[in-house]
Amino acid sequence: MEIVNIGERFKPLDIFDHFMLQNTFILMMGETMYAVIESGGKQYKVVPGAIVAVERLPAEVGTTVKLDRVLLIQGDNDLTIGTPTIAGASVTGEVVAQGRAGKIVVFKKKRRKNYRRTRGHRQAYTSLKITEIKAAQ
């Protein structure tokens, strides 16, 4: 499998954007195995070697994380779909970084009432490097 990194040409503003951009444009050469996992209420399509930014997980940088909510696995010649998850399947990843995304400004205003509120939010994330996709036996 060859991973093409287009993050070198484009300079995103945030490391979270870089991981999302890199994961979006991963090209798979020769290897066709991928999985769809659920983490933090969101679904992610992952391939071995990809870096995925998921919702914050309670793990230190460098540790291995096992994600067992696997919804779909596409192997070389077979497709396994869970109802809703595949029993015994797991995806293993290594924690590369813990971080926070860029600030989102929330601004509320009611006209003619002198009501203005400004709040900010930065979403916490964990970036994982997918090392292994294990199908159920």
Say what the pLDDT of residue 40 is: 92
CA 106 to centroid of chain Cα atoms: 24
Q: How many Å apart are CA 44 and CA 46, to the nearest integer?
A: 6
Say what the pLDDT of residue 37 is: 94
Tens-place pLDDT, residues 7-64 = 554 444 455 555 555 554 454 444 578 999 999 999 999 999 999 999 999 999 999 9
Which residue range forms the structural domain that includes residue 125? 15-134
8 lies in some domain: no
20 lies in some domain: yes
Q: Is the pTM of this model over 0.85?
A: no
The closest of 123, 48, 62 to 94, measured between CA atoms, is: 62
10 lies in some domain: no
83 lies in some domain: yes
Return the percentage of the chain with pLDDT > 90, whole number: 66
What's the total number of domains in the chain?
1
- Reading the block at residue 76, the tokens are 């070389």
Q: Specify whether the CB–CB gap between 118 and 105 falls below 8 A.
A: yes
1 lies in some domain: no
Q: Specify whether the CB–CB gap between 100 and 125 falls below 8 A.
A: yes
3 lies in some domain: no
The closest of 96, 100, 92 to 46, measured between CA atoms, is: 92
4 lies in some domain: no
Neighbours of 56 (CB within 10 A): 13
Length of the chain (residues): 137
Tens-place pLDDT, residues 16-30 = 555 555 554 454 444
6 lies in some domain: no
Q: How many Å apart are CA 105 and CA 1, to the nearest integer?
A: 40
Tens-place pLDDT, residues 85-133 = 999 999 999 999 999 999 999 999 999 999 999 999 999 999 999 999 9
| Residue at token pair 């979270």 | 16
